[in-house]
């Protein structure tokens, strides 16, 4: 608590200094307006700042600029003939960096005359289960640590395992079922210390300062997206400054970083933006006396250049270096570290994208991308003898081409195809493991000793059509084909359809059905020769929802869904275990799927989600969401059991208030049902498999608060904040384990009150 008081005093001292040194604000807003389909500039659009009467028009390049603005948070309205007018919230004006707006307008597809601007805009091929978050919404989220994954965890239908990780568990699905796209290029995992074969980790490797916005789809996504079962997270990066050099120094909850940006060439032809970050968690963990010391570094670069009026090229690179150290200077630390795998990782993802305007109503997008991850896991026994080793490399090179066209005003068509060359090496050695499972006889996971070098090919093709036959109806239909040559059944076809029906002026009905396939993780396929007979996992989505707009800034939605799972890999050694229950925590040897597997698992997830949102227009903003659901699976023994991620209910409430003069307060409250777990025999320490997932952890709740202050100096700006996670001190129980030294069951508890500060200087 003393640290919290000192941080508050520091903020008040800076307020006093700023009153002396700050001159009159002179902020700017610059932006660009483009057609959503063709990404071509929209000239002569009217851009206005709500509540101020200030207006401007876009030039031939679709660009606009406002100068001489006072500091504050504004809403921008953009309108022009033939397009749906839109409102963009959270445009923050301060010194040191121009506020940037990138707006995509949808063409009006019918003869309807639209006057009222839309604030909650969805892509035309998406009718339901969609949320958009812009940079400022992510940055200011309490307890979010400026981490995309942690902020997305607060959206409807999304759960997590514990406060130490940002895995996305979407509508009861596995953490391995999420697709990540970084500027349209696939990235296997957006986290440091990522789980092999899954998509989670403890902290994001994407620097939020480079992010413009994200789109998150929790079901029923179009045929353009494939090879994942539950969700799509599109991360859209901003461009660097095309006019001048700029810098940004950021001290966040987890590390220190710097961002540099500036022009490439003359006449605003191109730009670059470069980021480098280094965590200081190792200093904090070491000072706090932890035996487990993580270190990580990441780098990120985006460069873009307009080759001509019809061609533009973009280059992206993101890389990470992750390392774990152990302090074993006490017996207690040795005991704790015995259960933790060494997890050193390095990797990168890069892409080159060429966008070609083929006509005024069509464009071609060609992308060449490469991702690579090197895993180095190691486990030891009580005598520090290595019992598990996993040195793996996974790489994928993909070439894809997509074509988007508007043949007539009421119809949009996109189609594309791609091919991936995959290389994966695995050097794995694991002793036979009886774990602590016995009921009444030990369950043995066989020993593994392999050193393989494999190559494979994946391919896909799709077509997606959006049709608006009437002002009250929009239809989507798509067909996708996926191919994977490393498994026995290589080809899969996925039809998908959806409809948006306007029942009343402000009330829409959304319907969605689709088949989705996901290929098995590479490490599952190589661990045993018979695992190549695994099929792609299948999930059928059924979704229906209502969306009501109370006003331009307030809406409510309700959605019901059903996901029907088939062909999920299950263990032959552990007949109760399905791989859908894998990947949500820090990995142990039994979590890699290194055993004989068959595609005989089935299951379902069904639920209803209520969502209410008040967007920021003047001072107040907030969301409330409630998800009620159940998720169950059948493994090889045919017994239906709750999923590891079956919380039953998820309730989240977030909100904030702008006091003026740069001050902002926000809070987040979460109340989740306890997840299932398998009880431990209190005498022997053996997990009672006959009661697998029969008990539930205590319900989870936490309250996070955050106080932000913006400072405008003569030539630069400063953002400071104090963020207190779990201010009530509630130590939520995330699991139970057997302490073989004390011969008793112990609860794994999350941290209590966890205060952090952040400082962001922009020049």
pLDDT digits (tens, 9 = 90+) for 309-342: 899 999 999 999 999 888 776 666 667 677 788 8
Sign of CA dihedral 612, 76, 19, 711: positive
Asked if pLDDT for residue 3 goes beyond 50, the answer is no
Indicate the pairing of strand 255-264 with strand 448-470.
unpaired
- Rounded distance between C-alpha atoms, residue 106 and residue 35, angstroms: 6
More confident residue, 228 or 110: 228
- Rounded distance between C-alpha atoms, residue 708 and residue 659, angstroms: 10
Give the DSSP H/E element, type plus range, for residue 149.
helix 148-152
Give the neighbor-by-neighbor strand order of the sheet with 130-134: 130-134, 211-217, 231-237, 178-182, 185-186
Give the DSSP H/E element, type plus range, for residue 210.
none
Q: Identify the DSSP state of 501.
A: E
Q: What is the dihedral of CA 667, 673, 676, 680, to 10 degrees?
A: 80
Rounded to two decimals, what is the model's pTM? 0.94
pLDDT band at 547 (very low <50, low <70, confident <90, very high): very high
Give the DSSP H/E element, type plus range, for residue 17.
helix 2-21
- Rounded distance between C-alpha atoms, residue 199 and residue 180, angstroms: 9
Strand partners, 188: none
Asked if pLDDT for residue 11 goes beyond 60, the answer is no
- Rounded distance between C-alpha atoms, residue 233 and residue 210, angstroms: 16
Nearest to 562 by CA among 578, 536, 540: 540
More confident residue, 110 or 359: 359
- Is-contact 687 719, C-beta < 8 A? no
Asked if pLDDT for residue 1 goes beyond 70, the answer is no
Asked if pLDDT for residue 641 goes beyond 80, the answer is yes
Asked if pLDDT for residue 435 goes beyond 80, the answer is no
Report the pLDDT value the prediction gives residue 760, as an integer from 0 to 100: 87
Over residues 664-682, the mean pLDDT reads 95
Domain with CATH 2.60.40.1120 in the chain: 2-105
pLDDT band at 151 (very low <50, low <70, confident <90, very high): very high
- Rounded distance between C-alpha atoms, residue 701 and residue 669, angstroms: 7
Strand partners, 468: none
Is the link from the previous residue into 440 a cis peptide, with omega within 30 of 0? yes
Residue reference for tokens 């996925």: 494
Phi, psi of 340 (to 5 degrees): -110, 130
- Rounded distance between C-alpha atoms, residue 476 and residue 474, angstroms: 7
Strands (E), 135-241: 158-159, 169-170, 178-182, 185-186, 191-192, 203-204, 211-217, 231-237
Strand partners, 568: 601
Domain with CATH 2.40.170.20 in the chain: 130-762
Q: Identify the DSSP state of 698.
A: P
- Rounded distance between C-alpha atoms, residue 165 and residue 551, angstroms: 36
More confident residue, 438 or 119: 119
23-27, 175-179, 219-223, 402-406, range with the lowest pLDDT: 23-27
- Rounded distance between C-alpha atoms, residue 516 and residue 223, angstroms: 9
Phi/psi-derived region of residue 68, left when phi > 0, alpha when psi is between -120 and 50, beta in every other case = left
- Rounded distance between C-alpha atoms, residue 724 and residue 706, angstroms: 6
Asked if pLDDT for residue 549 goes beyond 70, the answer is yes
Nearest to 238 by CA among 264, 270, 273: 273
3-state secondary structure of 491: strand
Is the link from the previous residue into 756 a cis peptide, with omega within 30 of 0? no
Domain 2-105 has what CATH class? mainly beta
Q: Give Cβ neighbours of residue 310 (< 8 Å, ≥ 6 apart).
A: 356, 357, 358
For domain 130-762, which CATH number applies: 2.70.70.10, 1.10.287.130, 3.40.30.10, 2.40.170.20?
2.40.170.20
For the chain, how far is it from start to end, CA to CA, in angstroms? 33
- Rounded distance between C-alpha atoms, residue 665 and residue 567, angstroms: 48
- Rounded distance between C-alpha atoms, residue 451 and residue 453, angstroms: 7
């Amino acid at each position: 608590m003393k640290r919290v008081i000192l941080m508050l005093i520091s903020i008040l001292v800076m307020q006093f200094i700023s009153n002396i040194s700050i001159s009159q604000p002179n902020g700017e807003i610059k932006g660009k307006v483009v057609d959503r389909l063709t990404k071509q500039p929209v000239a002569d659009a009217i851009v206005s700042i709500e509540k101020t009467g200030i207006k401007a028009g876009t030039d031939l390049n679709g660009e606009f600029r406002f100068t001489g603005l006072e500091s504050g948070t504004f809403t921008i309205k953009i309108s022009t003939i033939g397009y749906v007018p839109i409102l963009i919230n959270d445009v923050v004006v301060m010194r040191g960096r121009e506020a940037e707006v990138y707006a995509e307008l949808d063409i009006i597809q019918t003869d309807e005359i639209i006057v009222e601007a839309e604030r909650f805009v969805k892509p035309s091929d998406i009718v339901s289960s969609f949320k958009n978050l812009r940079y400022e919404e992510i940055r200011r989220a309490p307890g979010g640590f400026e981490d995309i994954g942690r902020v997305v965890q607060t959206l409807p239908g999304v759960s997590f395992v514990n406060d130490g990780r940002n895995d996305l568990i979407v509508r009861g699905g596995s953490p391995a079922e999420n697709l990540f796209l970084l500027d349209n290029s696939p990235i296997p995992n957006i986290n440091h210390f990522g789980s092999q074969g899954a998509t989670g980790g403890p902290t994001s490797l994407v620097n939020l300062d480079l992010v413009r916005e994200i789109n998150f789809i929790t079901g029923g996504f179009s045929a353009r997206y494939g090879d994942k079962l539950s969700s799509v997270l599109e991360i859209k990066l901003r461009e660097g400054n095309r006019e001048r050099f700029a810098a940004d120094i950021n001290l966040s909850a987890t590390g220190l970083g710097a961002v540099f940006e500036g022009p490439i060439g003359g006449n605003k032809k191109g730009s670059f933006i470069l980021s480098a970050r280094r965590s200081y968690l190792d200093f904090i963990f070491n000072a706090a006396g932890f035996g487990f010391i993580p270190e990580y570094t990441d780098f990120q670069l985006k460069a873009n250049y307009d080759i001509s009026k019809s061609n533009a090229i973009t280059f992206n690179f993101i890389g990470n270096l992750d390392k774990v150290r152990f302090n074993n200077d006490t017996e207690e630390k040795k005991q704790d570290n015995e259960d933790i795998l060494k997890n050193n990782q390095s990797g990168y993802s890069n892409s080159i994208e060429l966008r070609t305007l083929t006509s005024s109503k069509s464009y071609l997008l060609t992308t060449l991308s490469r991702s690579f991850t090197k895993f180095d896991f190691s486990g030891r026994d009580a005598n520090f003898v290595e019992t598990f080793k996993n040195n793996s490399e996974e790489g994928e090179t993909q070439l894809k081409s997509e074509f988007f066209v508007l043949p007539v005003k009421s119809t949009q068509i996109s189609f594309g195809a791609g091919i991936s060359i995959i290389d994966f090496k695995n050097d794995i050695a694991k002793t036979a493991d009886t774990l602590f499972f016995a009921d009444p006889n030990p369950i043995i996971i066989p020993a593994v000793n392999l050193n393989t070098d494999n190559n494979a090919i994946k391919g896909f093709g799709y077509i997606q059509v959006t049709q608006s036959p009437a002002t009250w109806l929009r239809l989507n239909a798509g067909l996708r084909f996926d191919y994977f040559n490393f498994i026995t059944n290589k080809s899969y076809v996925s039809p998908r359809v959806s409809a948006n029906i306007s029942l009343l002026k402000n009330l829409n009905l959304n319907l969605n059905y689709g088949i989705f396939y996901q290929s098995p993780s590479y490490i599952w396929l190589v661990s045993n020769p018979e695992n190549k007979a695994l099929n792609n996992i299948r999930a059928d989505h059924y979704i229906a929802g209502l969306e009501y707009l109370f006003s331009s800034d307030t809406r409510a939605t309700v959605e019901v869904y059903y996901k029907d799972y088939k062909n999920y890999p299950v263990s032959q050694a552990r007949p109760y275990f399905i791989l859908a229950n894998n990947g949500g925590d820090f990995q142990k040897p039994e979590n890699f799927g290194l055993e004989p597997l068959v595609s005989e698992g089935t299951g379902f997830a069904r639920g209803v989600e209520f969502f209410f949102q008040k967007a920021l227009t003047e001072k107040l903003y907030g969301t409330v969401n409630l998800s009620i659901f159940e998720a169950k699976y059948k493994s090889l023994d045919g017994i239906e059991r709750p999923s590891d991620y079956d919380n039953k209910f998820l309730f989240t409430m977030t909100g904030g208030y702008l006091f003026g003069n740069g001050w902002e307060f926000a809070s987040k409250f979460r109340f989740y049902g306890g997840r299932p777990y398998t009880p431990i025999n209190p005498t022997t320490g053996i997990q009672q498999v006959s009661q697998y997932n029969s008990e539930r952890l205590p319900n989870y709740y936490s309250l996070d608060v955050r106080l932000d202050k913006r400072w405008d100096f003569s030539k630069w700006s400063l953002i400071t904040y104090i963020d207190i996670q779990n201010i009530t001190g509630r130590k939520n129980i995330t699991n139970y384990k057997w302490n073989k030294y004390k011969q008793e069951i112990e609860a794994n508890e999350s941290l209590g009150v966890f205060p952090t500060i952040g400082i962001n200087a922009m020049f």
